[in-house]
Amino acid sequence: MKYVDEFRDPKKAKFLINDINLLVEQIDICKQRPLQIMEVCGGHTHTIFRYGIEQMLPDTIEMIHGPGCPVCVLPMGRVDDCIALAEHPNVIFTTFGDAMRVPGSKKSLLQAKAEGADIRMIYSPLDALDIAKENPDKQVIFFAIGFETTMPSTALTVLAAEKAGIKNFSLFCNHITIVPTIKAILDSPELLLDGFVGPGHVSMVIGNKPYEFISKHYKKPLVVAGFEPLDILQSIWMLLKQITEGRCEVENQYQRIVPEEGNKEALDAINKVFELREFFEWRGLGSIDHSGIRVTEAYAQYDAEKIFSVPNLKIADPKACQCGEVLKGVIKPWECKVFGTACTPEIPLGALMVSSEGACAAYFNYGRIDLTKLIAEREAKAEVST
């Protein structure tokens, strides 16, 4: 398939892997411990597992799967709020499909739908606007979720609703922004990271400048990367190249999509409709300052949180859950106490087991992990410690 297969060429992959192997030999850290590279985006995590990239890389490179899966990091309390809105008798609740299975404290949207709530899966927020036009006697709420990647389309939908004079459409805004979160991870005392594979589609909107503090202040290299398997390999290669040459920069591997300055129209739409919240709760990471987005006062008539009352309860993550440590790269997904036992993609306990872009779900679904061996080891360890 044109414009797809070129980015999945196994011959080029071999070539890059050879070069990567040569480069790690020149890196001193690799002689003591594996080099830790975090891919921030859930989309990258998905590609890494889908194409089996981890097994192609040398053992001296360890991929840490970052917080960039917006579905995964949504706290339980917000899911409960979604369900409360969806169960409102006069509401049609619209959502992207991957949010359907995220567990709230009592149920998921999928369960609420089965119980009779009018919840509809859509592929674009504009579909929600069409539903609003077709159902003038109902309130249509769009479950707005995602980083800067999806923010412009939500913002433009609000502007389109305003232009068309549609009054029965609103957002339940759960957009989040990635930069404060990367900063929170970098400030974590347990951190060992040596570099970042940076978000591709977020950068398409915000450009490369917002990451400069990572290279300047925290002295970590970052390469903005595309989502095809060769993109990922090339980005890792570029990171290694920076490390061996003693450079520490923000580089752009995804030049075919990401302009240095980002997308002005998209940013304008975002700035018109949205503003930062003082803080926002992340599943597994806790509250992070200025990481959440809400609808501005000027567009309050499109803000479901203003139109309807939501319970807005804070629900603590399950105690056994070690998502936070996995997100920071302190432990590997399978080292979590409940991985594969109390927490599976079917009945996820923690955030990272929820979506196929979550690190734990990816390991569980795609990874070659001998679960029985793992559980036996874990039990043996527990016996020794008691």
As measured in angstroms, the least distance from the Cβ of 17 to other proteins is: 8
**Can you tell me which of 27, 56, 160, 307 binds other proteins, judged by CB under 8 A?**
56
As measured in angstroms, the least distance from the Cβ of 345 to other proteins is: 5
**143 vs 274, which CB is nearer to other proteins?**
143
**Can you tell me which of 23, 51, 177, 193 binds other proteins, judged by CB under 8 A?**
51
- Tell whether residue 50 is a contact of other proteins (CB under 8 A): yes
Sketch the per residue contact string, 219 through 238, with other proteins: x for CB under 8 A, - otherwise: ----------x---------
As measured in angstroms, the least distance from the Cβ of 148 to other proteins is: 20
Is 298 exposed, middle or buried (CB count within 10 Å of its CB: 0-12, 13-18, 19+)?
Answer: exposed
**4 vs 384, which CB is nearer to other proteins?**
4
Sketch the per residue contact string, 108 through 147, with other proteins: x for CB under 8 A, - otherwise: --x------------x------------------------
Contact segment (CB under 8 A) with other proteins among 46-54, 111-119, 257-265, 281-289 equals 46-54
Contact segment (CB under 8 A) with other proteins among 144-152, 173-181, 189-197, 366-374 equals 366-374
**319 vs 373, which CB is nearer to other proteins?**
373
Contact segment (CB under 8 A) with other proteins among 6-14, 82-90, 191-199, 204-212 equals 6-14
Residues that bind other proteins (rule: CB under 8 A) add up to a total of 27
Integer angstrom CA distances of residue 167 from 154, 160, 232, 283, 284: 16, 11, 44, 33, 36
As measured in angstroms, the least distance from the Cβ of 56 to other proteins is: 5
Beta bridge partners of 171: 142, 303
**301 vs 365, which CB is nearer to other proteins?**
365
- Tell whether residue 55 is a contact of other proteins (CB under 8 A): yes
As measured in angstroms, the least distance from the Cβ of 179 to other proteins is: 26
For residue 173, what are the contacts with CB-CB under 8 A and spacing of at least 6?
144, 154, 274, 293, 294, 295, 303, 304, 305
- Tell whether residue 58 is a contact of other proteins (CB under 8 A): no
**79 vs 304, which CB is nearer to other proteins?**
79
**14 vs 33, which CB is nearer to other proteins?**
14
Contact 94, 143 (CB under 8 A): yes
- Tell whether residue 368 is a contact of other proteins (CB under 8 A): yes
Sheet holding 91-95, edge to edge: 119-121, 91-95, 139-146, 169-175
Which of positions 67-106 make contact with other proteins (CB under 8 A)? 101
Question: Rounded distance, CA 173 to CA 82, Å?
Answer: 10
For residue 175, what are the contacts with CB-CB under 8 A and spacing of at least 6?
144, 145, 146, 147, 150, 151, 154, 274, 292, 293
- Tell whether residue 190 is a contact of other proteins (CB under 8 A): no
- Tell whether residue 14 is a contact of other proteins (CB under 8 A): yes
Integer angstrom CA distances of residue 334 from 42, 63, 352, 358, 383: 18, 14, 11, 13, 19
- Tell whether residue 345 is a contact of other proteins (CB under 8 A): yes
Enumerate binding residues for other proteins (CB under 8 A): 1, 4, 8, 10, 13-14, 17, 49-56, 101, 110, 123, 229, 345-346, 364-368, 370
